[in-house]
Structure 1
Amino acid sequence: MSSTTALPLTYGDVIHTPVHFDDLDAMGVLHNSRYAVLVERAVGKWWAARGVTFTGGRPTSPDAFNVVREYGITFHVPVTTIGDIAVHFWLEKLGTTSADYRFRVTSPDGAVVHADGRRVNVRLDPATMRPVPWTDHARGIAQPLLKP
């Protein structure tokens, strides 16, 4: 695994999220599947703070009904401790029905990049389960996440 230098934050956002003891595998490192969970929690927390979430099993906004279409990750330096890590994420592109996220999982200060990757979400119509356009409301909320 190679070491990657952290980039200064000039776009997107950073959400700190905890790594728990049971997130570590038998070797004492963060299990590879847990990175996706940490990214999901960070992105979900960001949108929930802006009113786009689920309450009582129902979306609070039509844009909350979306699914992950693609997910890719490259690992650089293992996470070997419990406690907070940082997830820096941004939108590379917001398409008609898709949102192309990029992310970095870093140490809390951003100095060590543990992993980076890409995640594409697609907004769905809950009745047909087919892609539908993001609302203007979501597009406005997402503006700060768009990479210049």
Structure 2
Amino acid sequence: MTTAVHTYGAVVPQPVHFDDLDAMGVLHNSRYAVLVERAIVVWWAERRVSFTGGRPTTPDAFNVVREYQITFHTPIRGTGEIDVRFWLDRMGTTSAEYGFQVTSADAQTVYAEGRRVNIRLDPATMRPAPWTPDGRAIAATLLRP
């Protein structure tokens, strides 16, 4: 898909800073994962699922990335604001499968797209644990139709 998603999921603007760029003046490939991470964290934090004082505000905040896949289409040249668009393709018992796009702020250019799978963990055992009903309800607003 090289057309920006407009009808489902969320869009969170993210800044590209000078120190995100490589020697050629384009966004370094490793920074895409950081931008996606920050956008998803901001979205969840706005819904009170985050960390405060080093502790999760809800059990659902305790999760890790299991998989990350990205395809690059067009380089981001220079600094400025971009958009991270993301949604859930699937919400499992212990996993959440995100789709995402990194686009221009005007949604005319898809720079990259991919998928990311998060697993909710039990903090005591560090093993997969089911999402809570509240977390599932919040996540449902991101589900792809």
TM-score, normalization by structure 2? 0.98
Matched residues in 1 for 2:4 and 2:57: separation? 34
Q: 1:72 to 1:78 in 2, by over 3 A?
A: same
Matched residues in 2 for 1:72 and 1:102: separation? 10
Equivalent pairs: percent with the same residue? 68
Runs of 4+ deviating beyond 2 Å:
4-8
Matched residues in 2 for 1:140 and 1:95: separation? 13
1:109 is paired with a residue whose SS is coil
Matched residues in 2 for 1:10 and 1:46: separation? 17
1:95 Cα deviation from its structure 2 partner = 0.2
Output the aligned Cα RMSD.
Answer: 0.9
Q: Match for 1:92: what amino acid?
A: D
Q: Is the Cα–Cα contact under 8 Å of residues 90 and 101 in structure 1 kept in the other structure?
A: yes
1:119 Cα deviation from its structure 2 partner = 0.2
Match of 1:135 in 2: 132
Give the length in aligned residue pairs.
145
Structure 2 gaps of 5+ residues are none
1:145 is paired with a residue whose SS is coil
Q: Is the Cα–Cα contact under 8 Å of residues 96 and 133 in structure 1 kept in the other structure?
A: yes
Q: Match for 2:115: what amino acid?
A: R
Matched residues in 1 for 2:98 and 2:24: separation? 30
Match of 1:116 in 2: 113
Matched residues in 1 for 2:4 and 2:99: separation? 13
1:81 Cα deviation from its structure 2 partner = 1.7
Alignment of 1:25-104 (within 5 A): 25-104=22-101
Q: Deviations over 1:93-148 (max 9, x none)?
A: 00000000000000001100000000000000011000000000001111110001
Q: Deviations over 1:58-115 (max 9, x none)?
A: 0001000000000000000000021110000000000000000000000001100000
TM-score, normalization by structure 1? 0.96
1:7 Cα deviation from its structure 2 partner = 3.3
